[in-house]
Amino acid sequence: MKVLKFGGTSVGSIESIQNVKKIAEARKEPIIIVVSALGGITDQLLKTARMAVAGDSAYLQEIETIVNRHYNVIEGVVLAEKKAETRKKVNELLDELTNIYKGVYLIRDLSAKTNDMIVSYGERMSSVIVSNAIAGAKLYDSREFIKTDTQFGKHNCNFGLTNKLVKETFTELPQITLIPGFIATDSVTGEITNLGRGGSDYTAAIVAAALQAEMLEIWTDVDGFLTADPRIISNAYVIDKLSYVEAMELCNFGAKVIFPPTIYPVYHKNIPIVIKNTFNPDAPGTFISRDMVGDKKKAIKGISSINDACLITVQGLGMVGVIGVNFRIFRALAKSGISVFLVSQAASENNTSFGVRNTDADLAVKVLKEEFEHEISIGEINDIKAEKDLACVAIVGENMKHTPGIAGKLFGTLGRNGINVIACAQGASETNISFVIRLDNLRKALNVIHESFFLSDYQELNLFVAGVGLVGGNLLQQIQKQQEKLLKEKSLKINVVGLINSKHCLFKREGINLENYKEELATATAPATPESIISGILEMNIFNSVFVDCTASETIASVYNDLLKHNISVVCANKVAASSSYENYTELKQTANQRGVKFLFETNVGAGLPIINTMNALTNSGDRILKLEAVLSGTLNFIFNTLSEEIPLSKTIVLAKEAGFAEPDPRIDLSGKDVIRKLVILSREAGYAIEQEDVKKNLFIPQKYFDGSLDDFWANISELDGEFEKRRKALVAENKRYRFVAKLENGEASVGLQEVDDSHPFFHLEGSNNIIMITTERYNEYPMIIKGYGAGASVTAAGVFADIISIANIR
């Protein structure tokens, strides 16, 4: 024999009740069906009661709605030969209910007893309807055998009497037995009571345990227990098996699949529970039993949360070493019927914190102040206050037992994402680690935990991309092209959730469609100011956030520190920050390190070449960089490689700009400013505190060409063509070439034009390529050489993309 419970939306419509009918009539073995009220009816009954007691005559319209709802269901599901009988019985119940409401309206009083009576009609009417919809079903009244005792204003099952009455009632079982859930009667007075919200699950479990059922099936509107709330975690999935302990922990911390006390009766009789979906009956559901089952590689089974939490702390030096303080705390709370779901105490005994629902917070503070009035008055205990609008999260899994590092991984994951843990608790059973955080961090916390503990099929990075020009545009194209492959082959999902151009910002938590991002960005209205950028990103409060700067803007670079302080990684092609004052550079690096996030700028030098990463690998492994020599300007190298008898200097500058190698204002490249910034960055990464002003300059364009406007520059630069052609011919005759070389040696940095012959590694540098020679203690006689494309939007974007992917630690 099995017990099946159908509730909520499972009996919420004609379609769902027809599903119940099919499921029941398909069973060959005897079954007991427990049903709740029609979906939403209990809330409607309570709402109508509140209207009546408030003197609102519109309660009559609410009654009419309730009547029509039940009539419609009768017409849609009840067997034809039983419709008249069903309508008659439901009419009698509706008449009784209407008279009770009229009495409440007239005397303006709604006692707990009357309230219990009113809500009982939901189950009483639904059980009549469903029993007459299923062929061969026999209806029993659960008020006759589910008995309760009242304690602290709540009705608790009297198991001794209930078990005796259930066994007496069901000595012989028909093929299909149907009973209403939730409702009960007082064991002494016989007055109508109930088992609390969700009590139909509990009714089913009580009956199953009393009759030693083979199995308890809870039919609901979901496929089973999920690893997390699917409204927050889009890739949450059904847990196929749970132990009783794991299921209980998840229920107690907000997983609303079943009513928490449901597990207790069947656990003691070792009766398995199966969670099934009325609307998807072929889904396997979740199987709950005494056995520890599941993937041993996954330490946790699921994550549950309470988004209605308040933390109350009793603190004071007068608590230290005093026996009985906690006894007094929880005795006072129990007397007032206040349930505590988390307790955390310092080893010093000078404070105890506990979690309650927000609705219980004020009463809890009141009764504790009364309990410790004397201690507060003499200063032994501080004023007791409640911290509201918090969330409590629990990670649950029996595989956590005796597994080192779970708590460290949990709190490390939260810390890297800027989530502060206010209080935490873990029992010696090691099946649950619970912690309290700010409510506005709940979504982020659930996402990063789900991902960190491999409950997700993939890892996510959420990108905010500033700059959608040449480099940024290429990056977005590369991301769009690689998104599917990265998800399939590397289990990495990259979402672009923010775009920023020179005028506006666009933020979308669900992600921006990269096929039409230009059109979406064109409709954005938020200004691209530092304040707007920072507030937009922080207000989204999304997990695994990365800010990607593909601009050359000082304004954009100014937001890095604020973002890093809020645990948002920064990847930048923009050289402004890393080449700014040494103080700012070190602060950014230190902030990233302290916050456990990344500040990456590989493409600041050499575009996509692995220069900075290689230098870091050398120094991190104990090597010391002694000397750097490099050609770091793809623009200048292109100019000197293109210079010929047919193409003068002024023309090569135009060609460099047209090819996308030069800045819109090529004077930035020709002045050596760009190379100086790159050399400063490399020098700092090599361990030297260098400022831009420390770099010695040997420039090849006279200063007067930089002093005027850009138009003046283009008008006058051809004046140098003759002199450069003469110098070029002389170099050709000596089999030499010009290279603009950046050098660091003995802690001194310099940039300037240098002649190199065909024996020098820089001589054969083609096109816009870059090259760097790194001399270290290990690579001394034969320096390490890195060479390749050092300019261009595509390779720079690829380097930025590589930095982004490195944050995910995938290979």
Residues marked active site are found at: 678
CA distances from 244 to 114, 296, 554, 751 (A): 36, 17, 58, 71
CB atoms within 10 A of CB 374: 9
The identity of residue 759, as a single letter, is: S
Contact 322, 329 (CB under 8 A): no
Residue 300 has, within 13 A of its CA and on its CB side, a CA count of 29
Structure tokens given for 376 = 């507060």
Q: Please report which helix (H) or strand (E) contains residue 801, including its range.
A: helix 793-807
Contact 351, 315 (CB under 8 A): yes
Contact 517, 468 (CB under 8 A): yes
- For tokens 């954009």, name the residue: 556
Q: Are strands 696-698 and 736-745 parallel, antiparallel or unpaired?
A: unpaired
CB atoms within 10 A of CB 359: 10
Exposed/middle/buried for 711, CB within 10 Å: 0-12, 13-18, 19+?
Answer: exposed
Counts for the chain of helices (H) and strands (E), in that order: 29, 31
| Pairwise CA distance, residues 355 & 305, whole Å | 13
| Pairwise CA distance, residues 443 & 430, whole Å | 24
Alpha helices (runs of H) in 78-156, residue ranges in sequence order: 83-107, 112-131
Q: Please report which helix (H) or strand (E) contains residue 683, including its range.
A: helix 673-685
Exposed/middle/buried for 347, CB within 10 Å: 0-12, 13-18, 19+?
Answer: exposed
- For tokens 């349930």, name the residue: 339
The identity of residue 395, as a single letter, is: I
When computed from its CA atoms, the radius of gyration of the chain, rounded to whole angstroms, is 36
First to last CA, the chain: 54
| Pairwise CA distance, residues 240 & 223, whole Å | 10
Query: Which one, of 461, 464, 463, lies nearest residue 493 by Cα?
Result: 461
**DSSP string for 432-483:** EEEEEEEGGGHHHHHHHHHHHTT-SSSEEEEEEEE--SHHHHHHHHHHHHHH
| Pairwise CA distance, residues 366 & 221, whole Å | 40
